Structure formats: structure tokens, C-alpha cells
Amino acid sequence: DTVREALQHIRRLNQRTARVSTQLLALSRAQTVPETVEALDLCERVPHWVRMRVPEAIRDGIDLGYRGSPRPLRVLGNGAQLQEALDNLIDNALRYAGRGATVTVGVHALDDNDVELYVEDNGPGVPEDVMPRLGERFFRAPGTTASGTGLGLAIAHEAVEHFGGRLTFLNRAGGGL
């Protein structure tokens, strides 16, 4: 029994080390201006990227959905970096919203010809005094019990800003982020 527990502990440490290594590589990639920049139709790509995360959401007891525009909405960017940013935002929502939560990824046009891609949840949200620090490298909100590296939102922030985008965090009225 003691050997089994030790092996499980080693496995968890190994998984955490692999996750930190993967996220450090992703952060490095996000800081580098990619060679490939293209017009990306978010209404085509985002639903596919969300579908890839549905089995994980189901496993965690979270309702993950997509809400989008019926017409194409294009932005200039790099598909791999944008997917990395969105994956980190979805990961953050799945990790912190909690079992039984609803997470929605959406794309819609704004009045000024900009496009908004958002991830929202109905979880506990984030204390207002912590909000300005979201997106800082290695920052994790005090009292957080979910595992994480504190790099996911920093990766998303770097990737989005490379293409003139802006990543903002807001608490939702009624709960969630």
C-alpha cells in the first residue's frame, strides 16, 4: 500500500512537472512573433476548438458550450497562438468554475468593427482586489485550491497582444468570470 501511494505521488509530481514545462514552452512561443499571420474566421475555428474540450468538461461535470455569429468574423492572427490562448482561457474556466458550472465560449461583432471572443463561467468569480493581477506570470489567486502553474492567463495575454488584441477580465453580475 505504501509503495502504491509513493508511486501515485511520483506520478502526480511527474504530471505537474510536464505541465509546467509545457506551459513554459507555450509562454516562450507566445512571446515570439509568429511567421504565419492570416485572416482567421473565428466563427469557423472557435467551435472546433471548443468541441475538442467537451470530453474533458463532461468528465469534470461542467456544461461547456459555444455561442457564435451566423456570419464569418475574421481577425488577423496566427491560428496556433490563438488556439493556445483560447485553450488556456477554457482551461482556467474549467479548473476554477467548479463541478456543475456552465462555461460558454462566444464570438460576436462589436459596433466598431472589432470582434470579441470571450469565455465566461458562472463560478465564484475573482475578488476585485486580485483582478488587476490576473495575467501576471506565476500569479495565482490566494486561497485557490485547484492545481495550476500561474502561467495560463499570462500565455493567453501574450498571444492576444501580439496581434493588437486586448485581454480583459471581468466578474459577471450574479457570479462568475
Q: How confident is the model at residue 154 (pLDDT cuts 50, 70, 90)?
A: confident
**The model scores a pTM over 0.75:** yes
Query: How far is the C-alpha of 168 from the C-alpha of 116, rounded, in Å?
Result: 11
Beta carbons within 8 Å of 160's beta carbon, 6+ residues apart: 82, 85, 166, 167
Each residue of 14-58: pLDDT tens digit? 766 656 555 555 555 555 655 678 899 999 999 999 999 999 999
User: Does residue 125 contact residue 170 with C-beta atoms inside 8 Å?
Assistant: no
Compute φ and ψ for 68, nearest 5 degrees: -140, 175
Predicted confidence at residue 34, as pLDDT, reads 59
| Position 135, amino acid | G
Measured in whole angstroms, how far is the alpha carbon of residue 173 from the centre of its chain? 20
3-state secondary structure the chain: CHHHHHHHHHHHHHHHHHHHHHHHHHHHHHHCCCCCCEEEEHHHHHHHHHHCCHHHHHHCCCEEEEECCCCCCEEEECHHHHHHHHHHHHHHHHHHHCCCCEEEEEEEECCCCCEEEEEEECCCCCCCCCHHHCCCCCCCCCCCCCCCCCCHHHHHHHHHHCCCCCCCCCCCCCCCC
Each residue of 91-133: pLDDT tens digit? 999 988 989 999 999 999 998 789 999 999 999 888 888 888 8
